[in-house]
Amino acid sequence: MTSFLRKRVISSAIPLVFVVLGVFCLARLTGNPVDLYLPLSATPQQRAEFSAAHGFDDSIPVQLWDYLTNAARLDFGTSLRTGESAGSMVLTAFPVTLQLAGMTMLLAILGALLVGSLAAYRPNSLIDRIAGLLSMTAASIPDFWFAIVGVLVFGVGLDWLPTSGTLGGPEIWVLPIATLLIRPFGVLVQVVRGSMVGALSAPYVKVARSKGAGPQRVVFGHALRNSITPVLTVAGDLTVGLVNGAVVVETIFGWPGIGKLMIDSILQRDFAVLQAAVLLTAVTIFALNILVDVCHALIDPRVRQAVPA
């Protein structure tokens, strides 16, 4: 297991490094923040002082080296926009997104396991057809459209839910989570169904049925455990997508999460915050990937056996 983990860490760390370096360099191609942060009348001296104070007058390799060495000491610089520590801004915003993405994914997995299993138990039945239609529709709906329609229908029209915001009772979670949930739920239902159909036709299930196991026992006691690996794989990828895709939900519903912080940082050329946000997101995705792999290995010994020591 240790060897498996070590190899997965190394292979997953390579794209992490590329993402961090790529964002650093690409951000600097978008323009000079001096133009955004200093007034029209700023003197060349003020512009030079601003650049020097934030290290923009150094060459890109020097800036990169400074960034990496400071980041190693957990110093991510200061936000040009707010003057706050970039690290603390990111650490404030990130849990908001993580909470949203985590809740969404857990609900998506649990819901998909239930609906997908029901659909798979009787293939081509009415339930299966309805589940298929709904999941395909859900996986295809653009999230921003769903969010706006949700606000208009459930917020304004029916007056059941608040339009947006982060303060309030549990009802404030419904529309953001529903918006984020719809696509992963649709995809996962398809995956669970496909995986379960195969599992339910396997010999061991027939054996279990012949021994008198009931439908619940067959589905949840036998087939589900053996068909969960592909579900976890897809769920892992979808969770990664959720962390990034929270941008739409956060923007529309006013959630002060990492997605919105990233967008604001890009628009405001707030490099320090952008870099810190990307780094933390990349590390989280890296950790999520490792976690998914570990779950695979825990469930299916062949996964860890496939990785030579």
Partner 1 sequence: MKSSVPSGPHRERGRAHTVLALLTTGTLLLTSACAVANSDAAGDAGSADGRTLRVVLTQEPPTLEPCESSLTATGVVVRSNITEPLVERDPTSGKLDPLLATGWRQTKPMTWTFDMRPGVTFQNGQPFTAKDAAFSIDRAVNSDLACNVDGYVFGDEKLEVHAVSPTRLTVTTEKNDPILPLRLSFVEIVPRTTSTKAKVRIPIGTGPYAVTSWQTGVSISLARNENYWGKAPAYPRARYVWRSDASVRAAMIDKGEADIATALDHTSADKGNTVAYPNNETTALRLDGREAPLDDIRVRKAIGMAVDRKGIIDALLGGLAKPAAQLVPPGVVGHNDDLAPVPYQVAAARALVKQAAADGVPVHRQITLVARNGMFAGISEVAEALQYEMARVGLNVRIRMADTATHLQYQLRPLPRDVGPVALLIMHGNQAGDAAFTTSQYLVSDGPQSTFGTKELDRRIAAADALSGKAREKAFAEVLEYQNDTVVQYACLAHMRGLLGLSPRVRYRPDSATGDEMRLAEVSAAKPGRH
- In the window 134-193, what residues touch partner 1 (CB under 8 A)? 148, 151-152, 155-156, 159, 162-170, 172-173
- In 3D space, the residue among 189, 190, 161, 188 whose CA is nearest the CA of residue 177 turns out to be 161
C-alpha angle 91/268/95, rounded to 5°? 15
User: How far apart, in whole angstroms, are the C-alpha atoms of residue 188 and residue 232?
Assistant: 9
Q: Looking at beta carbons only, is 248 or 285 nearer to partner 1?
A: 248
**Residue 247 Cβ, how far from partner 1 at the closest point, in Å?**
11
Binding status of residue 251 toward partner 1 by CB under 8 A = yes
Q: Which of residues 259-298 bind partner 1 (CB under 8 A)?
A: 260-261, 266-269, 295, 298
> Which 3 state secondary structure label does DSSP give 85?
strand
Minimum CB distance to partner 1 smaller for 130 or for 267 = 267
Instruction: Tell me if 112 contacts partner 1 by CB under 8 A.
Output: no
Stretch of 20-28, 125-133, 182-190, 194-202 contacting partner 1, by CB under 8 A: 194-202
Single-letter amino acid code for the residue at 88:
S
Which residues have C-beta within 8 Å of that of residue 199, sequence separation ≥ 6?
205, 222, 223, 224, 226, 227
Dist. CA 309–CA 306, nearest whole Å: 9
Residue type, 165: G
Using CA atoms, how far residue 206 sits from 29, 116, 245, in Å, is 61, 20, 42
Query: Binding pattern to partner 1, positions 33-72, x when CB under 8 A?
Result: x-xxxxxxxx---x--xx----------------------
Residue 83 makes contact with partner 1 by CB under 8 A: yes
Least distance from partner 1 to the Cβ atom of residue 169, Å: 5
Which C-beta is closer to partner 1: that of 52 or that of 136? 52
Nearer to partner 1, 244 or 268 (CB): 268
Q: Which is nearer to partner 1, 24 or 253 (CB)?
A: 253
CB 272 within 8 A of CB 63: no
How far is Cα 152 from Cα 145, in angstroms, rounded to an integer?
Answer: 11
48, 114, 213, 299: which one binds partner 1 (CB under 8 A): 299
Least Å from the CB of residue 281 to partner 1 = 17
